[in-house]
A and B are shown apart, each in its own frame.
Chain A
Amino acid sequence: KQEVTQIPAALSVPEGENLVLNCSFTDSAIYNLQWFRQDPGKGLTSLLLIQSSQREQTSGRLNASLDKSSGRSTLYIAASQPGDSATYLCAVEEGAQKLVFGQGTRLTINP
């Protein structure tokens, strides 16, 4: 059974810092890995999708990497801003839109 773990569970950093969120998964037989953002009381917003054959994806200040063989992904956020404060969720797709999610990292950026 696929299990996804995100470390740390919560992170608080001052504005302007670069930071890394970690995600690990137990079964490397995945189709892709997606990173989402969730603001309090809201739905999920897709940030980056990495296909299983890819190593990384970039969007603006965000960069996500994928190492399938070791079952790890990282989300790198450059020059953090208070607006980046949210819960970040990592999910692996097992096929046909079935996502297995980690518990998330609650990120707080302090002005």
Chain B
Amino acid sequence: KAGVTQTPRYLIKTRGQQVTLSCSPISGHRSVSWYQQTPGQGLQFLFEYFSETQRNKGNFPGRFSGRQFSNSRSEMNVSTLELGDSALYLCASSLDRSSGNTIYFGEGSWLTVV
């Protein structure tokens, strides 16, 4: 069965623009979470969605937002891009919200802000 799919894989944006990243979870998975990975800060939790509701949020400014659709697909949006937003954005899915389910990650979307 297909894994977690993220699009686009690579993109370059200019400071001040906004960007939308997409994630399709593994079929049947209802929980989707997003992470930012940078060389300096490592992997940091952005937010988690379950049944179209944001249940958990990390310590990121309001410029970072997301949503989940009824088919469990998710998008995240970053507005007013800053140079420091350049990172690998990883989406992950799991079966449900119970702790202890293996979390599966996509290949990520590489965002470069110039």
Q: Is the CB of A49 within 8 A of B100?
A: yes
Q: Is the CB of A45 within 8 A of B105?
A: yes
- For B75-99 the 0/1 string (1 means CB < 8 A from A) is 0000000000000001010100101
- Chain A residues 73-111 with CB under 8 Å of chain B are 89, 91, 93, 95-104
With beta carbons under 8 angstroms apart, the residue of A36, A44, A51, A103 that contacts B100 is: A51
Q: Is the CB of B106 within 8 A of A96?
A: no
Chain B interface residue count, Cβ-Cβ cutoff 8 angstroms: 27
A52 to chain B, nearest CB (A): 8
Chain A interface residue count, Cβ-Cβ cutoff 8 angstroms: 24
**Interface of A (DSSP majority class):** strand
Given contacts A36-B105, A44-B90, 5 further A-B contacts (CB under 8 A): A46-B105, A97-B56, A97-B92, A99-B45, A103-B42
Interface residues of B (CB under 8 A from A): 4, 31, 33, 35, 42-45, 48, 50, 55-56, 58, 90, 92, 94, 97, 99-108
| Pairs of residues from A and B, 4 with the lowest C-beta to C-beta distance, nearest first | A31-B99, A101-B43, A44-B105, A43-B105
